[in-house]
Amino acid sequence: MKSRMKLAIAPWVALAVTASAAAAGSSVHWEYQGKAGAAHWGELAPEFAACQQGKAQSPIDIRTSRTGTSVPIGFGYRASSAEIVNNGHTVQVDLADGGGIEVAGATYRLVQFHFHTPSEEAVNSRRYPLVAHLVHKSDAGELAVVAVLFRQGRENAALASVFAGMPATAGEKHPAGTGFDPTSLLPTRRGYYGYTGSLTTPPCSEGVRWHILKQPVEVSAAQLAAFRKLYRMNARPVQPLNGRVVLVNP
């Protein structure tokens, strides 16, 4: 029997975390599997303690949601120069000036997006083949992530230039031109699941606003294969909800 979620809205905590840390974490060596894998992150360094002890961790399995006071996301993305980086854990695209979002009166600047396979978040225990996490940061240092889920289908035109330019070696960077518009990554419908969570990589800092867009977009088998050639699996297991509420914006 499924337990009923409690209405427990946690405060959004200011995080002194850089954009690169949101994807790559600390300089301490960590992996997704093995002795330095996700099950042991909290043991690797004191600054990783939240990975093991935190009570508001991400990702989660979205099994039940409640229509509540969540508001639409105001997307204000724009074309920007970009750089594609292989950071040793994923492929990340850093944006010079890609615009941002507004949620509940708060403004966040888009600093980068990166990929996980399979999707870290699950919906009714279903994980998609790929997810893009668009990482935003406010002037106060608060983080907000928009997750775009991908299902296998047609080639994704928005990702064509990114996946064609993926660096093969950790630490390698490739320019991605001057006209990449992050809006092209988004589905036509912008309803989302929202909750309070954490970074999904070490140091697993909490207080992150998560917005998982409900409508998936398509990515081709060839594009998935190209990413998985570099990273076969780079997804953290789902974490306990611990009484948090998941609000749905229809």
Sketch out the chain's domains with CATH numbers.
Answer: 19-244 (3.10.200.10)
Residue-wise pLDDT tens digits, 173-205: 998 877 899 999 999 999 999 999 999 999 999
Q: Is 89 a catalytic residue?
A: yes
Q: What is the rounded CA–CA span in Å between residue 196 and residue 5?
A: 14
Residue-wise pLDDT tens digits, 38-91: 999 999 999 999 999 999 999 999 987 776 656 899 999 999 999 999 999 999
Q: Indicate which residue of 89, 114, 133, 136 is catalytic.
A: 89
Average pLDDT along the chain: 89
DSSP per-residue letters across 45-91: -GGGTHHHH-SS-S--EE---EE-S----EEEE--B-EEEEE-SSSE
pTM confidence score: 0.89
pLDDT at 97: 95
Token output for 74:
């105001």
* Percent of the chain whose predicted confidence (pLDDT) is above 90: 80
Query: How many helices and strands (H and E) does the chain possess?
Result: 5, 15
Q: What is the rounded CA–CA span in Å between residue 237 and residue 25?
A: 17
- pLDDT band for position 7 (cuts 50, 70, 90): very low
